[in-house]
Structure 1
Amino acid sequence: MFFSEYKLRELANIDKKITTEEIVKAINSIGFEVEEVFKFNFVENIKFGHVLKTYPNPESEKLTVCEIKFADKIRIIQTAAKNVKSNDYVIAFIPGSKLNGNEIQSKKMANITSEGMLISYPELGFKSELLTKYMNENILILDKVDLNKDPIDLFQLHDNIIEVSILSNRSDAQSYYSFAKELSAYFHSKYIPIPEKKKEYIASDISIKLDNENFLNGMKVQIDEFNIDIQDIFLLLKSNIKIDDNKYINFANLTLIYTGVSLRAFDCSKISNNISIKKEKDIWYLNDSKQNISILGVDVIKDFLPSNNSQNVFFEFSQINEKIVRENSKNSKLVTYSSINNSRVISNGMILLAFNFINNYFSKTSQLINEIDQTELNFKFDEEYINNYAGFDIREKTNYKKALKSLEILDFKISKNKINIPIIRHDVKNMQHIVEEIFRFYGLNNFSAEPISQLSLYASSLNSLEKQITYLSYTQVMTYTLISENKNWFNPFQFQDVKKLKTYVSEDHNSIRNSLALPIADVFEYNLKKNIKSLSLFDKGMINDQESLIIASTVKTYNEIKKDIELISNQKFQVIPLNNDDLHPNYNAGLYLSGKLVGWIGKIHPSKLSLDKDIIFGEILLNAIYSPKNKFIEFDSSPLKERDITFEIKQKEDLDIYLHKLESIEGIFSIEKISEFQKDNVNKLTYRILMSESAIQIFDNTNWQNIKELM
């Protein structure tokens, strides 16, 4: 997720003396991973202005002349944009301002000197692809503003954007409020929560029927006057969220980045009041007893969206079974902010956070439809258990007491040897999870190393297999053996049982992967985000109860990957397409030896793995490599011999049976098809075989007409 450093500082109340580097260190220290930190924009000395008068340049049909009052003087600035009018407030580069290090100067345009340049969203550093067409083509117009103020300070334009990788079990932390609270717990600062407004709630005539798998929530809002202000638009853009012309879609995305909960907005005049879940064909819908109004957890059907003028809006934000959301996204072929968000667990605390957030934006709201259970999980707080994990008595350590204070800031409550878990933390379920929470704030660097009584050192040469693969232009990476059971869906070897651990530190690492493909795909995704698009990688490690090797590439072809697998393994495989819905139907094959599946080649189905670039994978079980049928033979210096053979193949007859017999003969160096002729449903294929003298004898003594009976 992309976070604004300014917003995190504001919500976590972080002291100004704390540097960006210290914040990054804190984030990494408490179990998250900073992928990148970059400066938001490069503008200097820009100013607010008030447009006094506009008129067309008499010598140019494209230019509008604007007389603009600034804090120090009135300036003339010309623009080609058509949306600037008198009494507007704008931001401008004036002589001496800088954009990307280049100083802005006065410039004569159509015989009138322009003393600067008016600013649009792209000039402020916002990505064009995140902006609406209007924002891309027009000058940024503001509400009334004090001309003496600095736009850079007021709008926090000299911001740093921090890209953070967050594990899926911490869906609560994929939001400004929860992530800022994590930093507040680290720095022991005074966290600024969402204020709870005391007000009278309006009555809601909408009812939502619950089912066994999903807990549906929502609230009704009456609109007097509502707009997303410029600071909120800026925060959405800094967070890499696309702006929409519909203000309710923008508000839904604002709620998402602040609370981690996605909203779906409906115009109350377009729906009836009895809402429930309904399945039609392969898709689950939200239905109002007359019609389907949204694809559950994915998107609102366009006809029922509120317009910018809607007066009564229903917001639905629910706890939907993640498997249903993924199924809906796949079958509807829609990937939205909602579907991505609802593919993770949404806790009761996150729903209440979203409810309070909405209440602060609207004066007339209903109570939450379908009350949330606010009962906190609690269990025995066992300090001896913590000591056993630490390996020493941790209770007297200063850092331990600080870690408990951090947990208190995160709303964990410890009293009388019992701990209560905040309802926002669906991932904390037992004392082992509490140990993990304490240790991440205690600081792993604060555990002293114990000397090893005896240490045997040995040197080993580079693994010959790894060396061979490196020569084929692959780079080795290392991925985790353990994976979330929910993410362990890719099973090309058709293992019957998922190997789940009985004890584990995190839900994200509770089972042994069934393939190396998904972990290595994460490595590709990370590099593709960095615009590194040409990659060939390999990894080896445990899958299920066996050891596996995988090669993968964005630059090598399917056939090149197949040849590399054969070269690495020194095997000739029977290649048969696999009937596996998780693989691309046009790019997959199983690799068989003696009728047993030992590997696969291909692409993962695009609906299952969404990446900007195609990746070809080749994976093989290592026992297939390390038990080859090769044997030592004396070196034969005689020239290689050629033989041509023609096979007559009837329609639907399998040629592979002949080719496998050829490939099984030791001493064959190449098999090349040289001609093909078809007549009367019989296909005649001629192959030229290059082989050694010893292979010639076997070839010539083989009865190719009766090869089916022989095999």
Structure 2
Amino acid sequence: MFFSEKKLRELANLNSQVKTEYILEAINSIGFEVESIQPFNKNENLKFGHVLNVSKNPNSEKLTVCEIEFNDTKRTIQTAATNVKKGDYIIAFIPGSKCNGIEIKEKQMANIVSQGMLASFGELGFSSSLLTKKMNEEILIVDKVDLSLNPIDFFSLNDNIIEVSILSNRSDAQSYEIFAKELAAYFHSKINYDANKNIKETFFSKIKIETSETNLLNGIEVKNNENFKLSINDLILLLKSNIKLEENDILNFANLTMIITGVSLRAFDGNKILENIRINEEKKITYLNDGKNNISLLGIDVFEEYQANINSRKIFFEFSQIDEKIVRNNSKISKKITYSSINNSRVISLGLINNARNFIAKYFEDFSQLINDIKADNKKIKFDKEYLNNYAGFEIVKDVKYKNSIKSLEILGFKFNDYISFPNTRHDIKNMQNIVEEIFRFYGFNNFKPEQIESKTLIVDPIDQIEKKISALGYKQAWTYTLINKEKNTFNPFNFKENKNLKTFVSEEFNSIRNSIAFPLLNVFEYNFKRKIENISLFDIGMINDKKAIMIASNTKTYLEIKTDIERITNQKFEIVELDNEYLHPNYNAGLFIGGVMVGWIGKFNPFKINSDVIFAEIFEDCIYKQNNKFFEFNSNPLKERDITFEISKKYENAMYLNFLNSIDGIYSITLISTFKKDDIDRLTYKILMTDEALEKFDSIDWNDKDKLFKI
């Protein structure tokens, strides 16, 4: 998520003594990850101005001449925009100021000197792709303002945009209010908003919404204020958060509520919908229905004819937790990805809904009760200090840093006695392991002193060159986590009979051993794609379930190139069988078999599940055939050739013959020269190139004795 540093400082009540680098350190320390930080713009020396007069340039059909009063003098500035009129207050770049790093100078335009440039949203540093057509074409008009003020300070343009990666179990932190509260807890400051304010509705809504355990539907009705309009500061915050603005300010308000509180709103015109709202499924598409008509594609978007706008006198804001499968299916069918579809499957706790109600009440004076109110969950967890000390490895409860971490958690709303209660925004807190994680992240993982584990090496394995071998094929090594959230451990290409779930764990995100390296490695690809690194080939070696595996993956190599690479890495030839796995592309996958046993797979993901062009290949490490290199006296004799024909009645027999041939020292090449099929019997003829010593062993073998051959 993108955060404005200025807004976080405002809400977390952080003064200038808390430097930017301290904030970045805090974010990383308490369990989040700073992806990037960028200064918002490079503008300097902007001024507010008051338009005294407007006239057409007699020498140009397009230019308008504006006489403008500033706090230091009057200036004449020309513009091609048509929306500036006498009496307006504007922002201007005067001579000597800088617009995105470029110095502005006086310039003669159609025989009249223009002493600067009027500012639109675009000149203030916002991407045109995020602005409405009107904003791209018109000059920014502001409310009456003291001309001595600095526009850069007034609109917080001297800002940094911080991109933060947030774990999926902390969906509540994908909001300014909660994230600012996390920072306030770290720095022991007092938050600058009333998170626990108890607001009282001003009227009772008659709207009824049918809800269920899998689809929790909620909403609130408001009476619209006349001339409802978001402030420029509100719009600027949306733009800083990388949210595209809409012509309809009600939609902008819904998006503003989402980034501030973490609750995604859908806005209906209250005069256009009936009062009995329910879920309706038609032809595998799920709608929201008002008892007569379908009024929205559930979890995606409101149908245009029912969409609220600034002229709607009554507005129904719907916010719901919808089954992720429904959202994904509706998004696929409609081919629409909206802010709602991205955020709608998040867990919305009672605390977040209260925050959203408080925020709505700031903009709308008349609002109803919460429709389908959520009951408060007063769950408490027994405070097991011995459990905590065991996890820490020492008596952490006697450490002064522990007391500071408890103080931080109390700022967040935790209460510690014999039992621990926690804020109603934290849907992810379920057990003592979660409490340990909370204490540790404010204690500071860097404050745990590493201790050398006494170990004794009993067996020394030979140096394994497999990593160098894979690197030589053009792959860069990545290191991913062996553990994964058990709810997300759904990709099981090897059909392991059961998941290896941990009985004790610090975090719910890491409570199960993965069944494949694919998902974690895909995250590494996506991380690099975001940084414009487009051509990537990676490998990783690690545990999956109860086996050790190797994975290679690339978006630059072809399917056949990757298959060839995996054969080079393993020194094996595989039988290929198509797999039936919902996550794999039905026309772009294969299981890799040796002796009728699946030891690996290769393919792409099903685009209906995961949209990715990366090709993966995963293989069990123990199936690698390792040759024992031997050294012989120099032999100038030419290599010998033999042709041999195998009769193959079962698919896996070919691989077993080849494995046996590869086990003979001195064989230099094995080439298939002909195939013949008769009566379900394949006759495969190979040309073998070998040394005299290998030939001697080759001629002594009874190739018809399959039982003996395949036991070797």
TM-score, normalized by the shorter chain, greater than 0.5: yes
The 3-state SS of whatever aligns with 1:97 is: strand
Question: C-alpha separation between the residues in 2 aligned to 1:8 and 1:398?
Answer: 28
Q: What is the match of residue 588 of structure 1?
A: 589
Deviation at 1:180, TM superposition (A): 0.5
Partner in structure 2 of residue 692 of structure 1:
689
Q: Tell which deviates more after alignment, 64-73 or 447-456.
A: 447-456
- Distance, in Å, in 2 between the alignment partners of 1:92 and 1:674 is 81
One-letter amino acid of the counterpart of residue 601, structure 1: I
Selected match of 2:369 from 367, 370, 392: 367
Distance in 1, Cα, partners of 2:581 & 2:144:
61
User: Is 1:296 aligned to residue 298 of structure 2?
Assistant: yes
Task: Give the superposition deviation at 1:618.
Answer: 1.5
- In structure 2, the partner of 1:556 is 557
Unaligned runs of 5+ in 1: 646-653, 676-686, 704-711
Counterpart for residue 528 of structure 1: 529
Would you say 1:358 and 2:360 are equivalent positions? yes
Corresponding residue number in structure 2 for 1:254: 256
Q: Distance in 2 between matches of 1:344 and 1:69?
A: 51
Q: Deviations over 1:466-487 (max 9, x none)?
A: 0001111111010001111222
Show CA shifts across 1:230-284 (max 9, x none).
1111111111111122222211111111111111111123321111223334333
In the TM superposition, residue 214 of structure 1 has moved relative to its aligned partner by: 2.4
| 1:38-62 CA-partner distances (Å, limit 9, x unpaired) | 1111111011122233333222333
Letter of the aligned partner of 1:619 in structure 2? E
Provide the secondary structure at the position in 1 that maps to 2:543. strand
1:683 paired residue number: none
Deviation at 1:200, TM superposition (A): 5.0
In 1, distance between residues paired with 2:461 and 2:100?
52
What's the counterpart of residue 709 of structure 1? none
Structure 2: tracts of 5 or more residues without a match: 676-683, 705-712
Does the CA-based 8 Å contact 1:599-1:618 persist in structure 2? yes
Q: What is the DSSP-based 3-state SS (H/G/I as helix, E as strand, rest coil) of the residue aligned with 1:241? A: coil
Question: Which residue number corresponds to residue 139 of structure 2?
Answer: 139
Residues of 1 paired with 2:626 and 2:463: CA distance? Answer: 21
Q: CA deviation at 1:526?
A: 1.0
Match of 1:193 in 2: 193
* SS of the residue 2:516 aligns to: coil
CA 1:61/1:388 → structure 2, altered by over 3 Å: closer, same or farther?
same
Which residue does the alignment assign to 1:619?
618
Q: Indicate the residue corresponding to 1:433 in structure 2.
A: 434
Flag the 1:429–1:200 CA change in 2: closer, same or farther, 3 A.
Answer: closer
Shift of 1:508: 1.0
Residues 169 and 345, structure 1, Cα contact 8 Å, conserved in 2: no
Does 193-202 or 657-666 show the bigger shift?
A: 657-666
Query: What is the CA-CA distance between 1:300 and the residue it aligns to?
Result: 2.2
Is contact 2:673–2:687 with CA below 8 Å preserved after alignment?
no
If the length of structure 2 is used for normalisation, what is the TM-score? Answer: 0.88
- The answer to whether the Cα contact below 8 Å between 1:498 and 1:544 also exists between their aligned partners in 2 is yes
* C-alpha separation in 2, matches of 1:18 and 1:423: 29
Q: Is the 8 A contact 2:120 2:138 kept in 1?
A: yes
- Of stretches 55-64 and 631-640 in structure 1, the one that deviates more from structure 2 is 631-640
Deviation of 1:198 (Å) = 5.1
Amino acid at match of 2:466: L
For the structure 1 residues 372 and 281, does the alpha-carbon distance in structure 2 shift closer, same or farther, using more than 3 Å as the test? Answer: same
Deviates more, 1:177-186 or 1:687-696: 687-696
| 1:44–1:98 Cα contact (<8 Å) kept | yes
Map residues 529-548 of structure 1 onto 2, 5 A cutoff: 529-548=530-549
- Tell me how far apart the structure 2 counterparts of residues 51 and 671 of structure 1 sit (CA, whole Å): 86
Go from structure 1 to structure 2 and tell me whether the alpha carbon gap of 1:413 and 1:57 turns closer, same or farther (over 3 Å shift): same
Matched residue, 1:684: none
Report what 1:648 is aligned to: none
Does structure 1 conserve the Cα–Cα contact (< 8 Å) formed by 2:672 and 2:685? yes
Residue 198 to residue 572, structure 1, CA distance change in 2 (3 Å): closer
Aligned to 2:403: 401
- 1:127 deviates by 2.0
* Larger displacement relative to structure 2 (270-279 or 317-326): 317-326
C-alpha contact (below 8 Å) 1:377/1:423 kept by paired residues: no
Aligned residue in 2 for 1:651: none
Q: How many Å apart are 1:436 and its aligned residue?
A: 1.6
Shift of 1:289: 2.0
Deviation at 1:452, TM superposition (A): 5.6
Code of the aligned partner of 1:278: N
One-letter code of the match for 1:99? Answer: C
Question: Using the alignment, how far apart are the partners of 1:185 and 1:561 within structure 2?
Answer: 49
Distance in 2, Cα, partners of 1:329 & 1:119 = 38
Question: Deviations for 1:627-669, whole angstroms, at most 9, x for unmatched residues?
Answer: 5799989999646879999xxxxxxxx9989987996776695
In structure 2, the partner of 1:570 is 571
2:434 and 2:508 in contact (8 A); partners too: no
Number of residue-to-residue matches in the alignment: 682
**Mapping 1:662-673, distance limit 5 Å:** 669=669
Mapped partners of 2:673, 2:147: distance in 1:
80
Distance 1:244 1:668, change over 3 A: farther
* Structure 2 CA distance for partners of 1:435 and 1:107, relative to 1, 3 Å: same
- Where does residue 162 of structure 2 map in the other structure? 162
Q: Counterparts in 2 of 1:240-251, with a 5 A limit? A: 240-251=242-253
**Cα distance in 2 for residues equivalent to 1:227 and 1:567:** 65
Report what 2:681 is aligned to. none
Relative to structure 1, the CA distance from residue 60 to residue 543 in structure 2 (aligned partners, 3 Å threshold; closer, same or farther) is same
Q: Mapping of 1:340-359 within 5 angstroms?
A: 340-359=342-361
Other structure's SS at 1:95 match: strand
Structure 1 equivalent of residue 266 of structure 2:
264
Return 308-317 or 689-698, whichever deviates more: 689-698
Alignment of 1:73-472 (within 5 A): 73-194=73-194, 196=197, 200-225=201-226, 226-415=228-417, 417-450=418-451, 463-472=464-473
Deviation at 1:419, TM superposition (A): 1.7
Alpha-carbon distance in 1 for matches of 2:400, 2:89? 54
Whole-angstrom CA distance in 1 between matches of 2:351 and 2:158: 33
- Measured in 2, the distance between the counterparts of 1:308 and 1:640 equals 88
Distance in 1 (CA, whole Å) between partners of 2:685 and 2:236 is: 68
Measure the CA separation in 1 of the matches of 2:332 and 2:644: 50
Deviations 1:199-256 (Å, cap 9, x if unpaired)?
A: 5512212101121322211011111231121111111111111112222221111111
Q: Deviations over 1:488-538 (max 9, x none)?
A: 222222333222222222221121112111111111111111111121111
Counterpart in the other structure of 2:678: none
Q: Equivalent residue of 2:357, what SS?
A: helix
Provide closer, same or farther for how the CA distance between residues 278 and 51 of structure 1 changes in structure 2, counting only shifts above 3 A.
same
Q: Partner letter of residue 157 of structure 1?
A: L
Task: Describe the shift of the 1:119–1:497 C-alpha distance in structure 2 as closer, same or farther (beyond 3 A).
Answer: same
Report the Cα distance in structure 2 between the residues aligned to 1:636 and 1:546, rounded to whole angstroms.
Answer: 45
- Counterpart of 2:680 in structure 1 is none
Does the CA contact (< 8 Å) of 1:283 and 1:332 recur in 2? no
Aligned to 1:40: 40
Distance 1:407 1:693, change over 3 A: closer
Decide whether the 8 Å contact of 1:282 with 1:331 is kept in 2: no
- TM-score (norm: length of structure 1): 0.88
Contact 1:209 1:275 in 2 (8 A): yes
Could you tell me how far apart the structure 2 residues matched to 1:121 and 1:159 are? 15
- Of the structure 1 ranges 142-151 and 80-89, higher mean CA displacement relative to structure 2 is found in 80-89
Residue 5 of structure 1 deviates from its aligned partner by 0.6
Letter in 2 for 1:615: V
Three-state SS of the structure 1 residue aligned to 2:487 is: helix
C-alpha deviation, 1:555, in angstroms:
1.7
Change (3 A) 1:186 1:111: same
Matched letter for residue 357 of structure 1:
F
The residue number in structure 1 matching 2:708 is none
Q: Deviations over 1:448-470 (max 9, x none)?
A: 44566678799998630100011
Output the CA distance in 2 between the equivalents of 1:4 and 1:552: 36
Percent identical across equivalent pairs?
56
Structure-2 change in CA distance of 1:26 and 1:457 (3 Å): farther
Distance 1:353 1:343, change over 3 A: same
1:418 to 1:224, Cα distance in 2 relative to 1, 3 A: same
